[in-house]
Amino acid sequence: MLPWRAGAQRAVTYARDDENTFRQMTFLRPSHADALRQKGRRDEAAAHFREEEIMRAKLLPEKPLLPALSGFHYCDLLLAASERAAWRLMLNLAVSQPSSFAESSRAVSERARQTLQWAEECNASLATIALDHLTLARAALCETVLEGGALGQLDSCRKSLERAVDGIRSASHHDFLPFGLLTRAWLRRLTGPLTGPESAQTDLDEAFEIAERGPMRLHLADIHLNRARLFGLTKDRLANYPWKSPQDDLAKARDFIQKCGYWRRKEQLEDAEAAVRQPS
């Protein structure tokens, strides 16, 4: 475990029975929960997030849901199964009862709408509002794919996504920008344009430039995975792949995932590797 993550875990233990300390250090438990989430330890992460919300409800009963970055991470965890199911449909892989995953996506949307309302009422930071919009966009995108909805239903997703990307840029939180760009690349893969100015490819390329400068290795893993899924493995895969090859991108994604212990992406990577073996 990285030192700051171990420190977060110890601090949470010391603060557990001290309400005043908890008020000052409420970010620590979500930080530990997110570390578990990234490792793919979803049940443990979910338990930590739930316990944090129980504590929050005691202190702020009128606003019991986790807000800001902690809320974004918790929504990401809650959306994980639906997102994987949506990607499997994109890759022409079997999904059992997609409607149940769509319902889960709607539940995440409801959480994000509520925290967004609270954020706007208290004039929260641009980044906080942007992350709520990003969650709304991701949940709407998953729901549309899972229900086989018409692409015209993605208008609200597009509006939320533009507010998310613009807000993150305005807040100068460039470490969060790849999240928005990867989601917009997925949307543009469905609705166009795929290449050229303001396209799915330009979003992926911008995300790559940001992540490579970091270096942000978890973002790089996601970018390589998404390049393969969006351009090389979909039902209507492109004849001319914009980068080296889908196989090369998946190999690089696997390398980053293994070296970083980024196991939350393990199943999605394996799905993509199964799809690349399918006949085109």
Residue found by looking up tokens 């930590």 in the block: 48
Distances in Å between the Cα of 45 and the Cα atoms of 14, 51, 74, 224 are 19, 10, 9, 25
Distances in Å between the Cα of 227 and the Cα atoms of 27, 193, 220, 241 are 33, 15, 10, 9
Q: pLDDT per residue over 75-90, tens digit each? A: 999 999 999 999 999 9
Indicate the residue type of 220. Answer: L
Closest CA to 233 of 253, 260, 213: 253
Q: Decide: residue 239, CB within 10 A, 0-12 exposed, 13-18 middle, 19+ buried.
A: exposed
pLDDT of residue 279: 73
Could you give the CA distance from residue 33 to residue 24 in angstroms, rounded to a whole number?
Answer: 18
Lowest mean pLDDT among 11-20, 23-32, 54-63: 11-20
Q: pLDDT per residue over 254-280, tens digit each? A: 999 999 999 999 999 999 999 988 876
Could you give the CA distance from residue 235 to residue 91 in angstroms, rounded to a whole number?
Answer: 6
Q: pLDDT per residue over 173-223, tens digit each? A: 899 999 999 999 999 999 988 999 999 999 999 999 999 999 999 999 999
Could you give the CA distance from residue 193 to residue 188 in angstroms, rounded to a whole number?
Answer: 6
Contact 42, 264 (CB under 8 A): yes
Q: pLDDT per residue over 124-162, tens digit each? A: 999 999 999 999 999 999 999 999 987 777 998 999 999
Mean pLDDT of 50-70: 94
Q: Say yes or no to pLDDT of 16 above 70.
A: no
Closest CA to 252 of 213, 204, 218, 275: 218
pLDDT of residue 48: 93
pTM: 0.89
The 10 Å Cβ neighbour count of residue 92 is 12
